Amino acid sequence: MSKPRDASARIERLRREIEEHNYRYYALDRPTISDAEYDRLFRELQELEAAHPELASPDSPTQRVGSAPLPQFESVTHEVPMLSLNNAFGEAEVEAFDRRVREGLEVDEVEYNCEPKFDGLAISLTYDEGRLVRGATRGDGYTGEDVTANLRTLRSVPLRLRAKHPPTRIDIRGEVIIYRDDFDRLNARQRESEEKEFVNPRNAAAGSLRQLDSRVTAGRPLRLFAYGVGQLRGKDLPASQDALLDLLADFGLPVCVERRVASGAKGLLKFYRELLGKREALPYDVDGVVYKVNRLADQERLGYVSRAPRFAIAHKFPAEEAMTEVVAIEVQVGRTGAITPVARLKPVFVGGVTVTNATLHNEDEVRRKDVRVGDTVMVRRAGDVIPEVISVVPGKRRSGAPAYHLPRKCPACGSAVIRLPDEAVARCSGGLVCPAQRKQALLHFASRRAMDIDGLGEKLVDQLVDAEIVKGPAQLYRLGLEALSGLDRMGEKSARNLLAALEKSKRTTLARFIYALGIRNVGEATAKDLANHFGDIDALMEADEAALQEVPDIGPVVAESIRKFFAERHNVQVVEALRRAGVGWSETARTRPARGRAVGKTFVLTGTLPDMTREEATALIESHGGKVSGSVSRKTDYVVAGVDPGSKLAKAEELGITILDEAALRKLLG
């Protein structure tokens, strides 16, 4: 047995030596010893620490093996948000980005740092006085999950920064990935143990990092690439993004060498083409290039717009494609009744997975591409996007192949398939009685802004529908204590609470009732307008399209949608059944004229707001006399944008509509 003093010195020397080898292997990609020699050093350290538990340290490389499972991940609020980037898909968009940057900085040419866009999972590492104290996922950009125990298992993540005088505190941003060869070996192990194989490296990395048992994570070949800094205290930032990456490398973090400083749009596009050319030769997956204004002072000057920085953009690579054959064309009925034609394909490997189905989007797309059963087609898959048929291969069509036509009847319920003017998607008109839509219809009916049935959530609705206990909303009001108590996770107390909530929901308002029916294109605001105009449900059900268009803000499309809904006899029967079940309201109720700073103004909400739910924002706007719409048009006055706003923000910018964040909305409404 070695003496404690000698053991302490040897343990410390082994720890430094092993971490040095980790750094040379993962950060520098220049190992200096064999795997067998590394394993020998590691085993020696394990044995010494086991013999001298008083010398244990959380910074020891042996702690990377993982620990017992956690009950759950805790939430972490990022002190500096981890915002996403806007995307560019063509050269013109890159040139437009460069032009905006030059105009914003009032210069003729801008220097950029060009980096690969890794196809992995974004994370944040927090170091206090050089020691790793926390690791978190990106989450929604503002709040992530604490995965410190899992990130400690990555040998590419330094437990201590390589710096004599490290920052007081630093948040390092990076991407966790799996190399392609490591992914293949991982799936080989999965096959040998008869476990489910992973779809692609990105999904494997994301799933591995979110294991509650960090010992599972430790067995996965995860790696890190650092690319930025959130907050920094106790040390000055360097002058440029390029120098910042050099600093991270000096700290011992792996930084991608496939990067370059370039000037102007021409320099950006040159880097893009070069990286695209060697994409398949890279050891890891990348799905594009990230351009960042190089000078950090210029980044700060340009600032941010809604959810993304003005100083950076992601230039995406073309989607991956493959050729295969269409063996059938079928339709899927979505939870909202959307009828989507789907091509059933001969299996083909594309975008990292074997694809057997591909969306044809809608009837117009099928006709435009002229896809027929038996055709040889090109299929595209990019990232997690649903595979799609992009074109038919000319000259390979079988003689006499008939053109495809969408069915006139819903395959799930036999109701008419309708397509409203100016809409690309056809829909089942079955609504409340279509089995494919039943769960979604019931969840919408019970939602807080509709009938507000507390306790009727997704899992309970799944049980009620799957067991065929409930086939429509009226049957909810015939549920008894015995039927509910027999359901999974539904004790007598929970059952009684749900029955009380159902009874309470019977006394509602006409506006809520109309909204709860789930009529296409009828949101809360339209439901209120209809309730105020007609006063009772019978008058609404009997109204023709001309009468419906007398209601403010209701045009031909919404009028036709309402008319066709009530033209289906089964929908009228649902209304009658609900009234017989005791659902009612005051027929003469009218809302008071709106007053406030938003009177006459139309708002559209998009994305996730930091401190308000969408319902709370809607209530705030309506309390000040404003109206909330679900779509952006020239009649929209304001778009309120949060995190991940989607296409509504782009359309608003295109139309020149005023964009507000949550703070600006509160200020506007006082």
CB-CB contact of 522 with 515 (8 Å):
yes
CB-CB contact of 342 with 446 (8 Å):
no
Tell me the CA distances in angstroms from 472 to 389, 431, 478, one per residue in order: 36, 10, 11
Residue 504 annotated to the active site: no
**Alpha carbons 80 and 228: distance in angstroms, whole number:** 12
Res 561: pLDDT: 87
Q: What is the 3-state secondary structure (H, E, C) of 302-320?
A: HCEECCEECCEEEEECCCE
Res 35: pLDDT: 64
CB-CB contact of 134 with 76 (8 Å):
yes
Which residue in 330, 362, 331, 324 sits closest to 345, CA to CA? 324
Name the architecture of domain 87-316. 2-Layer Sandwich (3.30)
Q: Look up residue 616 and give its two tokens.
A: 């709370």
CB-CB contact of 105 with 154 (8 Å):
no
Res 71: pLDDT: 63
Outline where 238-310 has alpha helix (H): 241-250, 264-277, 296-302
With residue 170 as reference, give the H or E element that holds it: strand 169-177
Query: Beta 121-128 vs 131-137: how paired, if at all?
Result: antiparallel
297: left (phi over 0), alpha (psi -120 to 50) or beta: alpha
Res 592: pLDDT: 47
Superfamily grouping for domain 4-65: Helix hairpin bin (1.10.287.610)
Res 1: pLDDT: 47
Name the architecture of domain 431-580. Orthogonal Bundle (1.10)
With residue 125 as reference, give the H or E element that holds it: strand 121-128
**Alpha carbons 431 and 429: distance in angstroms, whole number:** 5
Res 74: pLDDT: 87
CB-CB contact of 505 with 452 (8 Å):
yes
Going 620 to 626 to 628 to 632, the CA torsion angle's sign is negative
| Helices 458-466/435-446 angle, 10° precision | 140
Q: Which residues on neighbouring strands pair with residue 262, listed in sequence order?
A: 112
Establish whether domains 431-580 and 602-669 are of one fold: no
Q: List phi, psi (to 5°) of 439.
A: -65, -45
**Alpha carbons 227 and 535: distance in angstroms, whole number:** 60
Residue that has been written with the tokens 């905006």 in this structure: 100
State the amino acid at position 569 in one-letter form.
R
Tell me the CA distances in angstroms from 457 to 85, 446, 452, 491, 498, one per residue in order: 34, 8, 11, 15, 10
Q: What is the DSSP string of 551-599?
A: STT--HHHHHHHHHHHHSHHHHHHHHHHHHTT-B--TT--PPPP-STTT
Give the angle subtended at the CA of 578 by the CAs of 576 and 580, to the nearest 5°. Answer: 70
What residues contact 62, with CB distance under 8 A and at least 6 apart? Answer: 42, 45, 46, 49
Res 72: pLDDT: 73
* Domain locations along the chain: 4-65, 87-316, 321-392, 431-580, 602-669
- Coil, helix or strand at residue 380: strand
In CATH terms, the fold of domain 321-392 is OB fold (Dihydrolipoamide Acetyltransferase, E2P) (2.40.50)
**Alpha carbons 17 and 42: distance in angstroms, whole number:** 10
Tell me the CA distances in angstroms from 399 to 365, 369, 373, 375, one per residue in order: 22, 17, 11, 10
Which residue among 3, 117, 164, 564 is the active-site one? 117
Res 25: pLDDT: 64
With residue 52 as reference, give the H or E element that holds it: none
Which residue in 305, 302, 428, 424 sits closest to 362, CA to CA? 424
- What's the whole-model pTM score? 0.50
What residues contact 171, with CB distance under 8 A and at least 6 apart? Answer: 78, 79, 80, 124, 125, 126, 229, 230, 231, 232
**What are the b/e assignments for 196-217, b being 16+ CB within 10 Å?**
eebebbbbbbbebbebeebeeb
With residue 203 as reference, give the H or E element that holds it: helix 201-209
CB-CB contact of 290 with 85 (8 Å):
yes
Q: Which CATH class is domain 602-669?
A: alpha beta
pLDDT per 10-residue tile (average), the chain, 670 residues: 70 82 67 73 80 77 59 84 86 94 94 93 93 89 88 89 91 93 88 77 84 84 93 92 94 92 95 90 90 94 85 86 90 87 90 83 88 90 74 85 91 86 82 84 91 91 89 92 84 90 94 92 88 90 91 86 88 93 74 64 89 84 81 89 84 91 89
Res 590: pLDDT: 46
Tell me the CA distances in angstroms from 369 to 158, 361, 404, one per residue in order: 52, 11, 11
